[in-house]
Chains A and B, each alone.
Chain A
Amino acid sequence: MSRYVLIVAVLGVLVLALAILSLAAGPAGIGVLQGLSDMLHGRETIAATIIGQIRLPRMILALLVGGTLGLSGAALQGLVRNPLADPGVLGISGCGALGAVLVFYTGVSAVWAPALPLAALSGAGLATLLLLALTRGGTLVLVLAGAALGSMSAALLALTLNLVPSPYASYEIMHWLMGSLSRASLHDVLIALPGLLIGSGFLLGTGRSLDALTLGEDVAHTMGFSLRAVQWRVVIGTALAVGSGVAVAGGIGFVGLVMPHLLRPLVGARPSRLLLPSALGGAALLLAADLFVRLPVSGTELQLGVVTSLIGTPVFFWQVWRLRGRPV
């Protein structure tokens, strides 16, 4: 068995174990198997309700949102050939969050619930289109355009918070921006699932093109790979996956930055080899972080996005430290 297959297998087992733990963990002492069996047989027991309505949606979303974040981080890093790239860095998450906050602020989401996820998707999608419009070729321009988008969404989010009339609404927005799966429902799963899966499909298909791109755009082109095509795939895939993720889980950062960084020493630096392990690693990280926030440490449940950011920021600093003095 090759080292790559072994690492993928180990990560797969880890994700499975964490997923089972995620179903089992909670204040109500119920049997997971009993609950699942009740649910599948349509028996309306308490165990079936807790598993089906609370824990299963939470586990599925942690797995898929974490997985797509890890995957889009790996794909974006391959595309811009920079280990600092991440959906957050390119402003896609920020614009998704802005879209969601705007419908929340205007009260549209109170009238029609699906408006929230749809707005997050649209925000991420618009950010994507703007990135593509600003980026005719060069990856440096892409990174700069992403930074500009990130700053713009941060400024507009601050403006919105500034203008919110009620302190309660501004507390709600702040809370949501910190990212959480504690209120995940089956409805959320259904809303996010298509985007998460289609986005992942787009991203998983980019491996060879990203490999070719490590030799530079010119050589990739002469080997039969189109930069525009792979840019479209990565950016559309990221918008779908990240937009859907932001819609149901709020702002969860740094998963896409951390996983490729941790896995590169194990599977090598070829982008195609990083995609699947980063997806599995991202899923494992978010499942583990979501288990951690459920631990009764203090009276309040920690926000998931806060935990991933606390894990991710040191890695971010470490990357910047390693890149110091290197020419741009």
Chain B
Amino acid sequence: MILQTDTLSLTLQGNRLLHDITLDVRPGEVLGVIGPNGAGKSTLLRVMAGLLRPETGRVLLDGQDLFSMPPEQRGRHLAYLPQDAPAAIGMSVRDVVTLGRLPHRRTASAKQDIAAVQQALEAVGMRAFADRSCASLSGGERARVLLARALAVEAPVLLADEPIAALDPAQALTVMELFNRYAAQGQAVAVVLHDLALAARFCTRIAVLSEGALASIGTSSDVLTDALFAEVYGVAVRRCGEVVVPWSLVSRNRVL
């Protein structure tokens, strides 16, 4: 399934949050969404997930308008992993991951549900923790449980908002590899990232947002140019092979 945004614009209380954004997330790819704080990355993802209605423009899932789709159908086609989720008080890991099967309550058998939950738990390496209470987990473990919940939906489109923010380098790599494997099965993944090195390494394409508008979109070598870093982030970078390291500020005015 392909998720497209068509000339999306959104203004809330006089603030222009998104402006004229047209892009697509294709089956088999991981699209990284990057940009400075406040550039509109999370807002864009929320619009793409059907949580915020754009003022103008449309979001299309396989050509069908997302906002006129029956909610249950949308729930099966699109999984959303927010930046911060509430602590599911007292629930076990398996209970939380099983919630990912709720959109399938009329379309899947109990057997399919159990298999999907097992697979999701295994994918994030939490199978051994299945019967533990979520309250007893570390921040990183909880982030993986919530990711497993999103994977258990088995949706053709997965939208993840900073899924690796709470993770150490090894776990961050594991999760990015997981997204690649997910995409390799033909699913479309869009993921908001702050880590430019991981974005460059793992994303098929990268979309750069700046002040609510799409500054650039393409492969990492096309997009992550010195000029773009100076323009969008206001930083000069140094390169070490594939790795890009923000090194110094170009213009102090834009940060302060």
Contact = CB atoms under 8 A, between A and B. Distances in A.
A270 B91 contact: yes
Interface stretch (A50-58, A218-226, A284-292): A218-226
A83 B91 CA distance: 13
A208 B90 contact: no
B51 A222 contact: yes
The secondary structure that dominates the B interface is: mixed
A212 B91 CA distance: 13
B91 A224 contact: no
A224 B149 CA distance: 15
A294 interface: no
Interface in A209-268: 211-212, 214-216, 218-219, 221-226, 264, 268
A212 B50 CA distance: 16
A264 B95 CA distance: 14
A215 B75 contact: no
Contacts of A226: 71
Contact of A223 (B46, B70, B75, B146): B75
B86 A269 contact: no
B91 A269 contact: yes
Contacts of A222: 49-51, 74-75, 78-80
Given A81-B86, A83-B89, A214 B99 contact: yes
A225 B105 CA distance: 12
Chain B: number of interface residues, binned into ranges: 20 to 34
A268 B153 contact: no
Contacts of A83: 89
Nearest to A224: B75
A215 B71 contact: no
A211 B98 CA distance: 10
A212 B102 contact: yes
Interface string B36-70: 00000000001001110000000000000000001
Interface string A196-215: 00000000000010011011
Nearest to B73: A224
A221 B50 contact: yes
Given A218-B82, A222-B51, A212 B99 contact: yes
